[in-house]
Structure 1
Amino acid sequence: MTSVTQIVAFGGVVMLGAMSPGPDFAVVVRRSAVSGRGRGMAAAAGISLGVSAWVAAAATGIAALLAASAVAFTVVKVVGTAYLLFLGVKALRAALRSGGELSLDVPDPGGRSSWAAFAEGLLTNVLNPKAALFFVALVPQFVASDAALGDALVLSVVALAGTVAWFTVVANIVGALRKVFARPAVRRSVDGLTGAALIGLGVNLAAAGRP
């Protein structure tokens, strides 16, 4: 059985990982800045679900199979790279597009913007094979190979809660500055910076190899 001390330590490590700059952070910041805190929190929820899934996969050995398989790792890497580049180019196109005052309260067509933001966050995390490598290395430090399924579920819930907490804070801070981000020049700057960051992260992921 995983002890309380191990659970707290695991939660701390996951929080530090979530705080590090990466695709997840860039997506939450841009979504919160462009669409408001609600969409940012939806993206955060998607990312957190992805993290929880990776923890469960690592605890049950699925993530280890991905890390060990050159074909599986390459497929996820290629798809993940393509998705990050897609998001980056989309953001850069928005930065280059001229327009008037931005209203963050206008919903996306079809009323599916929250789900779209959720899916964006989920796919950004799930399609990142570096997440698999991270949790394959981390989870065995806290869960024995013969651990019960309950231990894996506990760690998954801890990872979910910690990631939700961090990215919710990020979404709310950025969302609270909505009047600043409503200015066209600021909006274009955010789009440009996050677009360049996502493209850079996509290129970095493309160059990544299995350990």
Structure 2
Amino acid sequence: MTSMTQIVAFGGVVLLGAMSPGPDFAVVVRRSAVSGRGYGMAAALGISMGVFAWVVAAATGVAALLAASAAAFTVVKVVGAAYLLYLGVKALRSALRRGEEPRPDVAADPGRRSPWAAFAEGLLTNVLNPKAALFFVALVPQFVGGGASLADTLVLSLIALGGTVTWFLVVAAIVGTLRKAFARPAVRRAVDGLTGVALIGLGVKLAAAGRP
């Protein structure tokens, strides 16, 4: 049975992991700044569902198989890096676009104007990151043993989801509150440019990463 001390400690470690700069943070910030608070929150929910899935995978041993398999790790790494590069290039193209200021609700998702696109972007950014698998493979066994019950796994997964979604919803709310400032063309291009460079850099770093 997972104790309250374990729950608090696990939630704290996951929250610190969520707060560290990375692709998840970049996606939520750009979505909130460019498309609005609702889109940023949708991306935050997608990221949190990815974290939930990783905790379940780590507790059931699936994530450990991914971490142990060179082929599986490489496939996820390459696909994840390509996705980050795609997001980064898309952001840079938006930053370099001249002429009429794009409408905020359309610019981030040309042809896909639903927050579900932002949710999917957040989800894919997280689940295609093999470093998340390594993080939870190292973390989860410290809180659940080999004979962990379904209830223990579910509790830890919900704690991870709750902590992650709380942090990124706060980020989305803060950035969304500053929407008027971000709506200015010069600021908008700066946000797109900075997050685009960050995502491309993270994609390159992920592509070059090896298994520990």
Q: Give the TM-score of the pair, scaled to structure 2.
A: 0.96
2:50 maps to amino acid: G
The answer to whether the 8 A contact 1:102-1:182 is kept is no
Question: What RMSD, in angstroms, separates the aligned Cα atoms of the two structures?
Answer: 1.4
Tell me the equivalent position of 2:36: 36
Tell me the equivalent position of 1:207: 208
Tell me the equivalent position of 1:15: 15
1:125 aligns with 2:131: no
Q: Deviation per CA, 1:161-182, whole angstroms, max 9, x where unpaired?
A: 1011000000000000000000
The answer to whether the 8 A contact 2:106-2:113 is kept is no
- CA 1:145–1:192: 2 relative to 1, 3 Å: same
Tell me the equivalent position of 1:27: 27
Q: Secondary structure at the match of 1:88?
A: helix
The answer to whether the 8 A contact 1:103-1:182 is kept is no
The answer to whether the 8 A contact 1:47-1:124 is kept is yes
Return the alpha-carbon distance in structure 1 between the equivalents of residues 106 and 205 of structure 2.
Answer: 35
- CA 1:69–1:106: 2 relative to 1, 3 Å: closer
Tell me the equivalent position of 1:139: 140
Return the alpha-carbon distance in structure 1 between the equivalents of residues 90 and 105 of structure 2.
Answer: 20
Tell me the equivalent position of 2:49: 49
Return the alpha-carbon distance in structure 2 between the equivalents of residues 90 and 186 of structure 1.
Answer: 17
1:24 maps to amino acid: D
The answer to whether the 8 A contact 1:99-1:184 is kept is no
Cα drift, residue 111 of structure 1: 6.3
- CA 1:165–1:204: 2 relative to 1, 3 Å: same
- Kindly, what percent of the aligned residue pairs are identical? 82
Regions of 4+ moved over 2 Å: 99-113
Instruction: List runs of 5+ in structure 1 lacking aligned partners.
Output: none
Tell me the equivalent position of 2:6: 6
2:193 maps to amino acid: G
Instruction: List runs of 5+ in structure 2 lacking aligned partners.
Output: none
Cα drift, residue 98 of structure 1: 1.2
